[in-house]
Amino acid sequence: MKKNLILIILLVTYLGMFNACCQHLPIYPIPSFNIEVNPYATFRENQPVKTHKSPMEKREVNVEVKTVSGGQNCQATVWIYSLDQTTVLGPYSVSCEEILSVAVDSREWGVLVDSEEEIVVSVWFTGDPGTP
Cis peptide before 39 (omega within 30 of 0): yes
What lies within 8 Å, CB to CB, of 124 at 6+ separation is 30, 31, 32, 33, 61, 62
Residue 97: inside a domain: yes
Residue 132: inside a domain: no
Contact (CB, 8 A) for 66 and 123: no
Lowest mean pLDDT among 5-14, 82-91, 114-123: 5-14
- pLDDT at residue 36 greater than cutoff 70: yes
Q: What CATH number is given to the structural domain containing 65?
A: 2.60.120.1300
Q: How many domains does the chain have?
A: 1
* pLDDT at res. 24: 75
pTM above 0.85, yes or no: no
* pLDDT at res. 21: 53
Lowest mean pLDDT among 27-36, 56-65, 103-112: 56-65
Residue 117: inside a domain: yes
Other CB atoms within a 10 A radius of the CB of residue 4 amount to: 12
Residue 92: inside a domain: yes
- pLDDT at residue 43 greater than cutoff 50: yes
* pLDDT at res. 52: 43
Q: Please provide residue 2's backbone torsions phi and psi, each rounded to the nearest 5 degrees.
A: -65, -40
Residue 76: inside a domain: yes
Q: Grade residue 10 by pLDDT with cuts at 50, 70 and 90.
A: low
Residue 11: inside a domain: yes
Residue 131: inside a domain: no
User: Mean pLDDT throughout 102-119?
Assistant: 94
Residue 90: inside a domain: yes
Q: CA quadruple 79, 83, 62, 31: dihedral positive or negative?
A: negative
Contact (CB, 8 A) for 108 and 45: yes
- How confident is the prediction for the chain on average, in pLDDT? 83
Task: Give the range of the structural domain holding residue 24, as residue numbers without chain letter.
Answer: 2-126
Cα distances from 77 to residues 24, 54, 67, 85, 116, in angstroms, run 19, 31, 14, 19, 9
